[in-house]
Structures are given as structure tokens and as C-alpha cells.
């Protein structure tokens, strides 16, 4: 597909001769997922269909068919790796997902996040209709701090789960009116909600996900505070989160990326003003070496935070007599 493209297509077995439908279906599903084993219940005829919408980044498919089992065997995983995740959301009937020795039976109102980079089985009956969404691996591995498979059922009937499910239905219903940037923007928000749901962050008494993000962000900012290019977007990119997730986590802690970066830079300047090894540096040099754009920007922020200028703080820290400081400052 061309760059920044968006595609909507409908495919069914209706125009295929009955004896060729199973082969057609296998090739069709493989073409937009990966190599799978297909175990058909019927020995001859088979019916099924898909409505697929996709961009260069995300893909959502609504599918329905006769009874079938899809499988990724260890051999297929080795020969045809696929690191991306899939989110399953049944709309009618049910799905059974088996992976890592776990089994999840999904009915409408439940969902599951899995990877095709580990052996699994997915089976359903002829009355099933469901969504399957393809999500880039780094959008799950980073936020969830994992590279392993998932097969847990997620409650999509209330709270954050219902919001996410409604977003997916909305994407499908508006599929013919969306542009590629619009589709990607909503999908990105949907993935954030799913990651929060996986770690239970939809419950106000379990802020584990946001707390984890906040801790990682604070460590990163402390290590890179002196970088003049540091901002919310750059730290989110380096940590593998979205900017929105970083903002949410810091908002939960009562701050913002800009405020946190400024506070860490002020802390760094304060420590250097106290350290004998930095006495040879001017205030201007300290400002640039600590990530500030100018000495005036540092002085303004420092006075607001500590009630005095960096120069006054240095003199006080050095034990300079108050009379001498007043004479020098006029």
C-alpha cells in the first residue's frame, strides 16, 4: 500500500465454487495475518466473510464463517515469526482461545489479547461473528513491559472495557468516512485503553499501570535532565510509551512533563551550585550545562522555586557574609 494509506474491503466466499472455498479461505486469511494451520469441520463446502479496514499501522477485521480451528504450531512460529499482537472481541457466538497452557472462552462482552509469535489455537462455531485487531508489538511490549503471550479474558462489558469496545464498534461503523490519520489516531487511543485494561488500571484502587509509568518517567528525566532537547514527546518515544500515557501518569501524580523536567533541572543546578567541583563555572555555563536555554530562564525559574537567584544561592552556600553580598548586589 502507498504511504499513509487506508483501505476498506469486503471479501466473502459467495463467488467461489464450493469445492474451492476452503483453499480460498486459507489463502485469504493468511494474506492479511500470517501462516496458520486451518482445520475445517466440513469436508467439502465452507462459507465465510470478512470486512477489513487497515492502514500502514493498524488493522481491524470483522469476520464470520462456518466452524473452524486456526492454529499456530511451534514449527510455524519458528519458520514464520509474527511479533504483533491481536485483540479478539466476539460480537455473536463465542471464541475459544488456547495459548501457554491457558484456555479462555470468550462470549460477547469479553475480549482477549494474544500474540501469534507463540503457539496457539483459536476455534469457533458457525454462529460466531467477531473483531480481530492487529496491534504493533512495541505498542504492547513497552507499556506492559512484557514480550510474552497473553490469553486472559478481558471484561469489555463495563468501565474502561466498554469504552474500548465502543471505540472499536465506532471505528467499524464509520469505516467508510475515516481518513488514514483519523483511523490511526483512534486505534492508538484504543490500544492505550487495552493496555490499561490488561493491568487493571480501570479500577481506581489499582493504579499500578500509571504508577509504573510515572516511576519510569521520573527515572528517565533524572538521568537526562541536562539534555536541552528533552521534552514529553522525546521521553515517551525513548521509553516506548505514548505521550498521552506519560501525561496521564504524571497528571495522576499532580504534575506535567514540562514541570517535572524543570524541577529536575533546578535540582541539578542546585546540586552543582553546592558542589565545589562546579565553582569554576559561571551561572550562564551552569544554565546551558543543565538543560536551560539561557541564564535568564534559569534565574527566573530558580528564583520562583527557591526565593533567590542562582548567584545569591551560590554566595550563601559559600558562606559569604551578608554585608558583602549586599554590597556586591547593590
pLDDT tens digits, 189-220: 898 888 878 766 433 433 456 777 788 898 89
Asked if pLDDT for residue 103 goes beyond 90, the answer is: no
| CB burial readout 67-94, b (16+ within 10 A) else e | ebbbebeeebbeeeebebbbbbbbbebb
160 three-class SS? helix
Angle between helices 257-274 and 243-252 (to 10 degrees): 70
DSSP for 14-71 reads TTS-GGGHHHHHHHHHHHHS---EEEESSSS---EEEEEEEESS-EEEEEEESSEEEE
Return the higher-pLDDT residue of 152 and 187: 187
211 three-class SS? helix
Q: What is the mean pLDDT of residues 100-127?
A: 88
- Which of 83-92, 268-277, 319-328 is least confident? 319-328
DSSP for 238-277 reads HHT--HHHHHHHHHHTT--HHHHHHHHHHHHHHHHHH-GG
Q: What is the mean pLDDT of residues 275-292?
A: 93
Which domains does the chain carry?
A: 6-198 (2.60.120.10), 208-329 (1.10.10.60)
Whole-angstrom distance, CA of residue 162 vs CA of residue 190: 11
Return the higher-pLDDT residue of 320 and 62: 62
Dihedral (CA of 323, 328, 329, 330) sign: positive
Whole-angstrom distance, CA of residue 298 vs CA of residue 285: 11
Per-residue confidence band for 326, with pLDDT thresholds at 50, 70 and 90: very low
pLDDT of residue 328: 36
Give Cβ neighbours of residue 236 (< 8 Å, ≥ 6 apart). Answer: 242, 243, 245, 246
pTM of the predicted model over 0.75: no
pLDDT tens digit string along 25-67?
999 999 999 999 999 987 678 999 999 999 999 999 999 999 9
Percentage of the chain beyond pLDDT 90 is: 58
Contact 78, 163 (CB under 8 A): no
Contact 198, 213 (CB under 8 A): no
Q: Map grid coordinates 493468511 to a residue.
A: 30
Whole-angstrom distance, CA of residue 91 vs CA of residue 263: 48
Asked if pLDDT for residue 164 goes beyond 80, the answer is: yes
Q: How far is CA 254 from the centre of its chain?
A: 22
Asked if pLDDT for residue 230 goes beyond 50, the answer is: yes
Most distant CA pair in the chain, distance: 100
Amino acid at each position: 500500500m502507498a504511504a499513509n494509506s487506508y483501505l476498506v474491503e469486503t471479501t466473502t466466499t459467495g463467488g467461489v465454487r464450493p469445492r474451492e472455498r476452503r483453499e480460498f479461505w486459507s489463502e485469504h486469511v493468511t494474506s492479511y495475518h500470517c501462516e496458520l494451520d486451518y482445520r475445517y469441520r466440513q469436508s467439502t463446502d465452507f462459507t465465510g466473510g470478512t470486512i477489513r479496514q487497515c492502514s500502514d499501522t493498524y488493522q481491524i477485521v470483522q469476520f464470520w464463517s462456518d466452524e473452524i480451528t486456526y492454529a499456530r504450531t511451534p514449527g510455524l512460529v519458528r519458520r514464520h515469526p509474527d511479533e504483533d499482537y491481536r485483540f479478539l472481541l466476539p460480537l455473536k457466538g463465542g471464541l475459544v482461545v488456547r495459548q501457554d497452557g491457558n484456555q479462555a472462552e470468550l462470549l460477547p462482552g469479553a475480549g482477549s489479547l494474544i500474540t501469534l509469535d507463540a503457539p496457539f489455537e483459536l476455534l469457533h462455531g458457525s454462529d460466531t461473528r467477531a473483531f480481530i485487531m492487529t496491534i504493533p508489538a512495541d505498542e504492547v511490549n513497552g507499556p506492559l513491559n512484557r514480550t510474552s503471550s497473553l490469553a486472559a479474558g478481558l471484561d469489555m462489558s463495563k468501565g474502561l472495557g466498554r469504552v474500548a469496545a465502543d471505540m472499536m464498534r465506532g471505528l467499524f461503523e464509520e469505516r467508510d468516512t475515516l481518513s488514514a490519520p483519523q483511523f490511526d489516531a483512534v486505534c492508538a487511543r484504543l490500544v492505550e485503553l487495552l493496555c490499561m485494561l490488561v493491568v487493571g488500571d480501570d479500577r481506581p484502587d489499582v493504579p499500578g499501570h500509571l504508577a509504573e509509568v510515572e516511576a519510569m518517567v521520573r527515572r528517565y528525566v533524572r538521568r537526562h535532565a541536562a539534555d536541552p532537547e528533552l521534552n514529553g514527546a522525546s521521553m515517551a518515544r525513548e521509553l516506548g510509551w505514548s505521550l498521552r500515557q506519560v501525561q496521564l501518569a504524571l497528571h495522576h501524580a499532580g504534575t506535567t512533563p514540562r514541570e517535572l523536567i524543570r524541577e529536575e533541572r533546578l535540582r541539578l543546578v542546585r546540586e552543582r551550585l553546592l558542589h565545589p567541583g562546579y565553582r569554576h563555572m559561571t551561572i550562564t555555563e551552569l544554565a546551558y550545562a543543565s538543560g536551560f536555554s539561557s541564564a535568564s530562564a534559569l534565574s527566573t525559574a530558580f528564583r520562583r522555586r527557591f526565593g533567590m537567584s542562582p548567584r545569591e544561592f551560590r554566595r550563601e552556600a559559600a558562606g559569604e557574609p551578608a554585608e558583602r553580598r549586599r554590597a556586591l548586589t547593590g
